[in-house]
A and B are shown apart, each in its own frame.
Chain A
Amino acid sequence: MSATSARPSPAPPTSGAAFIFKKALISAGVALVLFSLMIGVRTEAGPQGGLIYWTRFGDLAVLVATVFGGSIIVELLRQWWGPVDSDRFVPKPVQTAMAFAGRWLAPALLVFAFLIPVIFYNQRYILDLSILVLTYVMLGWGLNVVVGLAGLLDLGYVAFYAVGAYSYALLATNFGLSFWVCLPLAGILAAFWGVLLGFPVLRLRGDYLAIVTLAFGEIIRLVIINWQSLTGGPNGVSGIPRPTLFGIPLDNSDDGLAAKLGIDFSPTHRIIFLFYLILALALITNWVTIRLRRLPIGRAWEALREDEVACRALGINVTTTKLTAFATGAMFGGFAGAFFATRQGFISPESFTFQESALVLAIVVLGGMGSQLGVALAALTMIGGFELFRGLDQYRMLVFGMAMVLLMIWRPRGLIGHRAPTVFLERNQAISSDLVKEGHG
């Protein structure tokens, strides 16, 4: 499919010092133009309100030099590696090793997850981080139903997360309903919204569906911001009740859990409770998804991803099948949202931006579209990686964006590039992702 192959022209040299130097020089030249004004000149509103500027030619020079050096290194690496293809980057033995690792990695991770509160009992930071990672694991698994299994590209997943969070927050603060009553309600409401959105738009294909879901996510956020009497607008909802252990609060009051058990109260108890709560929710999501894959509905989702026309010819109602996928994913998002609200005690529209949707989608795609383990690993990598750059606050999204681009170039098929069959006669053998389709919706 190479475009240039059609022309019998003498191939330009693609190696040698002169070639590398020339290429680096071009890159540096491009960088110089790109950065000349954006880096070389810094603007700011001055004390009198007008704009002032100052120059930063030093920074500009450093950046251009970095691009020059980086270009040389990249080119050297490329020649050392040979032509870029994914087999070369991930050698076959490594791929089989990864598939093998998959067998014991999942149980090992599970055991480790259960032990985290024991191992890191006094390390609040790690516990908080684990809860955050698990929340994204759950969101990833929820979105995986929609994107990974059914092949429907949803860029507004955060809307359902928001619906779940606001459902719990508003039901709890206005009507005093407990977390355990609101949790299923939040899921149902989110699923309801999923159906409401899905019903008209699921006929759309491909990128259109993506952009409509994105618009829907934005609509939900804008409505939350502007419907101040209900949602508190940009100020959000505060004073959301903390979860209780089926009615027993986790505080230092007389009827709190600590007092009842006769042990000293510690705020860590609540954190650990939250940890196991999200772990349980995530595992339920995982269990349900694995079960669903082996049921006709799950197989229909995957068949839909593979070939919608063939599904219709086999008598599958494409619309309801898509709707169930959408609603199931939305429901899990709603559960996660309710958990988020109770954990934070405060929610505002700022938590439900497009960046969140993109982050969860990146987790699903990096995980390998449909692989449960892959999604968990991707969530760990992404959120962990995010934490590494916590110090460089304003560079965080910059690095995240670059990482997304590089990851897509490196592994467009994600970390786990295999699909496990849902049923087999003799051999349970994984299917290479090269064969697996990605859906049109």
Chain B
Amino acid sequence: MDYFAQQLINGLVLGSIYGLIAIGYTMVYGIVGMINFAHGDIFMIGGFIALISFLVLVSFGLTAVPVILLIVLLVSMAITALYGWTIERIAYRPLRHSFRLAPMLSAIGMSFVLTNFSQVSQGARVKPVPPIITGGYTLHEGAAGFAVQLSNIQIVVVLTTIVLLAVFTWIVSRTRLGRDMRACEQDQTMAALLGVDVDRTISMTFVIGAALAAVAGMMYLLYYGLVDFFMGFVAGIKAFTAAVLGGIGSLPGAMLGGLAIGLIETFWSAYFSVEYKDVAAFSILIVVLIFMPTGLLGRPEVEKV
């Protein structure tokens, strides 16, 4: 039971990170109808920028951890958001009304560019960082000397996710930008006729998605204490799986799907085999798509004849 509780905590933390990435996929899919293949790599870039800005800040002599974390968070969100904006501008916007495969291949190309850009610019070796947030609480002292631990970093990850999710839900449901986004999702032409700046709205979608991915990247860095140039690919597929599981286009669905994938992966590793955890996650994707093509919270698609 204690072991189970511990895995539950670990799974929720991992799921929060997946959920943050999944939101980017789901938003872009909802509004432009494409899988932004480069999104996993945006997450990776976010992790790198967090790492570098952290190093630079520490070498400047800053020691107050909360201040450092706040600056790192803002810097990596800002710069990564600019990556998202630039990619949309260069690789996707020219292809918006082109045929369907073109943006997808362009996105795959962009994913290669980002992966190899960070390999070339930062080297292929894994970048470890010492634990930044330490300590934690023992929730329950088990019988066999096994204790259920809740570390501070886990609390930070979950809290950050909740706060950002709240802010983000507010943006989508209450602000003018959110209204424009929902309008573009329904019908871009009509939205444009009613005075919505479609180009700008789509750009903002990419910016927000990238910013959230940057947060996920930073949380990943803090939680696992390392980044490498290849981490975007697998994380990206899993986050996409999460988005699909939750019902693509649905924001709460993305978060829910992220948590589900995080839990499945953690429990699979804990009770079955670590080697096959990715196989489990991908198999779930296939099974969900077959039996529940619209996901947990997605709207069913009615075929028009």
Taken together as a complex, chains A and B put the C-alpha atoms of A132 and B49 apart, in Å, by 38
| Cβ contact within 8 Å between A208 and B289 | yes
| Cβ contact within 8 Å between A405 and B110 | yes
Selected from A30, A51, A365, the residue in CB contact (under 8 A) with B105 is A365
Q: Which of B176-191 contact A (CB under 8 A)?
A: 188-189
In the complex, which residue of chain B has the Cβ closest to the Cβ of A396?
Answer: B116
Interface 9-residue window, one of B7-15, B138-146, B155-163, B277-285: B277-285
Q: Which of B55-104 contact A (CB under 8 A)?
A: 55-56, 59, 75, 79, 82-83, 86, 90-91, 94-95, 97-104
In the complex, which residue of chain B has the Cβ closest to the Cβ of A216?
Answer: B286
Which has the most chain A C-beta neighbours within 10 Å: B103, B112, B116? Answer: B112
| Cβ contact within 8 Å between A3 and B197 | yes
Chain B 265-305 per-residue mask, 1 if CB under 8 angstroms from chain A, else 0? 00000000001101100110110011001000000000101
Known: A395-B120, A408-B109. A53 touches B276 (CB 8 A): no
Tell me whether B241 is interfacial, beta carbon within 8 Å.
yes
Q: Which residues of B contact A1 (CB under 8 A)?
A: 97, 188-189
Taken together as a complex, chains A and B put the C-alpha atoms of A434 and B82 apart, in Å, by 34
Q: Which residues of B contact A30 (CB under 8 A)?
A: 82, 86
| Cβ contact within 8 Å between A397 and B108 | no
Tell me whether A204 is interfacial, beta carbon within 8 Å.
yes
Q: Which residues of B contact A427 (CB under 8 A)?
A: none
| Cβ contact within 8 Å between B289 and A409 | no
Selected from A5, A51, A207, A409, the residue in CB contact (under 8 A) with B35 is A207
Q: Which residues of A contact B130 (CB under 8 A)?
A: 50
Q: Which residues of A contact B35 (CB under 8 A)?
A: 207, 210-211
| Cβ contact within 8 Å between B197 and A210 | no
| Cβ contact within 8 Å between A38 and B45 | yes
Selected from B75, B116, B195, B305, the residue in CB contact (under 8 A) with A309 is B305
Taken together as a complex, chains A and B put the C-alpha atoms of A50 and B54 apart, in Å, by 13
In the complex, which residue of chain B has the Cβ closest to the Cβ of A225?
Answer: B275
Interface 9-residue window, one of A39-47, A96-104, A372-380: A39-47
| Cβ contact within 8 Å between A211 and B240 | yes
Q: Which residues of B contact A3 (CB under 8 A)?
A: 188, 192, 196-199
Name the prevailing secondary structure of the B interface residues: helix
Q: Which residues of B contact A4 (CB under 8 A)?
A: 192, 197, 199
Taken together as a complex, chains A and B put the C-alpha atoms of A309 and B82 apart, in Å, by 42
Known: A397-B116, A404-B106. A219 touches B283 (CB 8 A): yes
Interface 9-residue window, one of A120-128, A133-141, A353-361: A353-361
Selected from B127, B275, B283, the residue in CB contact (under 8 A) with A43 is B127
Chain A 145-187 per-residue mask, 1 if CB under 8 angstroms from chain B, else 0? 0000000010000000000000000000000000000000000
In the complex, which residue of chain B has the Cβ closest to the Cβ of A403?
Answer: B109
Q: Which of B224-263 contact A (CB under 8 A)?
A: 233, 237, 240-241, 244
| Cβ contact within 8 Å between A6 and B193 | yes
Looking at chain B, what size class is its interface with the partner chain? 35 or more
Known: A222-B276, A365-B101, A401-B111. A38 touches B116 (CB 8 A): no
In the complex, which residue of chain B has the Cβ closest to the Cβ of A35?
Answer: B121
Taken together as a complex, chains A and B put the C-alpha atoms of A216 and B289 apart, in Å, by 13
Chain B 115-133 per-residue mask, 1 if CB under 8 angstroms from chain A, else 0? 1111111110111111000
Q: Which residues of A contact B282 (CB under 8 A)?
A: 215-216, 218-219, 222
Q: Which residues of A contact B94 (CB under 8 A)?
A: 84, 409
Selected from B75, B116, B189, the residue in CB contact (under 8 A) with A395 is B116
| Cβ contact within 8 Å between A45 and B127 | yes
| Cβ contact within 8 Å between B125 and A412 | no
Tell me whether A413 is interfacial, beta carbon within 8 Å.
yes
| Cβ contact within 8 Å between A401 and B109 | yes
| Cβ contact within 8 Å between B91 and A36 | no
| Cβ contact within 8 Å between A394 and B120 | yes
Q: Which residues of B contact A200 (CB under 8 A)?
A: 286, 290
Selected from A6, A37, A44, A212, the residue in CB contact (under 8 A) with B123 is A44
Tell me whether B164 is interfacial, beta carbon within 8 Å.
no
Q: Which of A30-76 contact B (CB under 8 A)?
A: 30, 33-34, 36-39, 41-45, 49-51, 53
Taken together as a complex, chains A and B put the C-alpha atoms of A38 and B103 apart, in Å, by 26
Taken together as a complex, chains A and B put the C-alpha atoms of A153 and B82 apart, in Å, by 30
In the complex, which residue of chain B has the Cβ closest to the Cβ of A33?
Answer: B82
Q: Which residues of A contact B198 (CB under 8 A)?
A: 3
| Cβ contact within 8 Å between A404 and B105 | yes
List 17 A–B pairs whose Cβ atoms lie within 8 Å, in order of A's numbering: A38-B45, A43-B122, A44-B125, A45-B128, A51-B51, A53-B56, A207-B29, A210-B104, A211-B244, A215-B283, A219-B279, A222-B275, A222-B276, A404-B108, A408-B102, A409-B94, A409-B106
Q: Which residues of A contact B (CB under 8 A)?
A: 1-7, 30, 33-34, 36-39, 41-45, 49-51, 53, 84, 153, 200-201, 203-204, 206-208, 210-212, 214-216, 218-219, 222-223, 225-226, 309, 354-355, 358, 361-362, 365, 369, 394-395, 397-398, 400-405, 408-409, 412-413, 438
Known: A211-B244, A412-B102. 7 other contacts (CB 8 A): A6-B195, A44-B123, A51-B127, A200-B290, A208-B293, A361-B108, A438-B99
